[in-house]
Amino acid sequence: MKTFEKSFIKRKPLGKASAKETFRKSLIKAQSAMEYLMTYGWAILIIAVVLGALFQLGVFNANNFAPKAPPGSCQVFKPDGPYTTSFINLEGVCSGELPQYVGRFNGFNAYVVVSGSPLLSPPNFTVVFWVQLPVPDRQWAGIVDRGRDATPRDWYFLGPNQNCGNGQGIIFSENTTELCYNWGNPYWHFVAGVYNNTSHTEYLYVDGVLRGSSGGGPTRSTQEPSYPLVIGARSPDFAAPFNGSIANVQIYNTSLSANEIQALYLEGIGGAPIDLQHLVAWWPLNGNANDYSGNGNNGQINGGLTFVSNWYSGYTPP
């Protein structure tokens, strides 16, 4: 009987007092939320700013946790001596690990000098390297140079100038014809300059892509004057020092194909040379200025050149 009576009891509608109570409780909750934000909001904001700064500095970059190749971990072995081409092979760990160090040039007095040799300036050649220009503060800065300020001129790579734009970029020249490309950012880039003496044509590649070509130059000779090769400044007067980072400089005495340039780029900044029979010199700049091509073209370090381990900002593996 009690159950039957309860089924007919009408529920009392929500009155004004109950509505006010509900509103009061909601207001209290909103005030509590605001008080929480006021109390902890600054802490949350500070944490967000710190995380953003750490991300910008590359602390969370996956490259920080990748295995690193120590200096000299990969090199060319030539059992018959320098500049021989028989039974050549790579020794060590040569599978493209990131280098432990790269060369950091201060834009003031830091550069590497390699004694002049005609073998560093063959009729057909290819020069490749990785470069980062975070501060393009000097026009015509020497990056890798074999006679920019000499007569007759040889080949060279310079920083940007007013003729090619003032942003970050590269200039490649064989003799007097200049090719330039501006990438307009402070990131790492792969650069390759190729010269074919048969067609008298030079090619500039950036990040594995052909960015420019020019033909009609004079026939080269193996009897080029013995200008020093300079990394990080101009040759032979060491003017216009470079402000930035350089890694994995390679020179070949042949004109590598577009496919070979692309393959070198895809190896990444720690990639080994691709054509050992035609390799003339190889300076990884991974902690020193030694030549790991087996040809003994070791460089001499001058000024404030440093080898830095925290270089990953701006580098994205291909």
**Over residues 283-294, mean pLDDT:** 98
d(CA 307, CA 318): 23
pLDDT band of 5, cuts 50, 70, 90: very low
Instruction: State how far the alpha carbon of 13 is from the alpha carbons of 5, 18, 24, 258, in Å.
Output: 19, 10, 19, 83
Pick the CATH number of 68-308 from 3.30.70.660, 3.40.50.300, 3.40.50.10600, 2.60.120.200: 2.60.120.200
CA separation (Å) from 120 to 43, 71, 124, 225, 264? Answer: 59, 23, 11, 11, 20
Which tens digits make up the pLDDT trace of 10-66?
Answer: 445 545 557 667 766 676 766 776 666 666 666 666 666 665 655 555 555 556 667
Structure token digits, residue 99: 């280098």
Q: Which residue ranges make up each domain of the chain?
A: 1-56, 68-308
What pLDDT does 226 receive? Answer: 82
pLDDT value for 195: 96
pLDDT tens digits for range 92-127: 999 999 999 999 999 999 999 999 888 898 999 999
Three-state SS at 21: helix
157 has pLDDT over 90: yes
Answer whether 234's CB lies under 8 Å from 140's CB.
yes
Please tell me the pTM assigned to this model.
0.81
The pLDDT of residue 188 is 97
Which tens digits make up the pLDDT trace of 167-207? 688 999 988 888 999 988 899 999 999 999 999 999 999 99
Using pLDDT thresholds of 50, 70 and 90, give the confidence band for residue 8. very low
pLDDT tens for 228-262 read 999 999 999 999 999 999 999 999 999 999 999 99
**What's the confidence (pLDDT) of residue 265?**
98
Q: What is the pLDDT of residue 45?
A: 66
Gap between the Cα atoms of 207 and 192, Å rounded: 8
120-129, pLDDT tens digit by residue? Answer: 989 999 999 9
The answer for residues whose C-beta is within 8 angstroms of residue 151's C-beta and 6 or more apart is none
Pull the structure tokens for residue 88. 């050549």
Q: Report pLDDT for 152.
A: 83
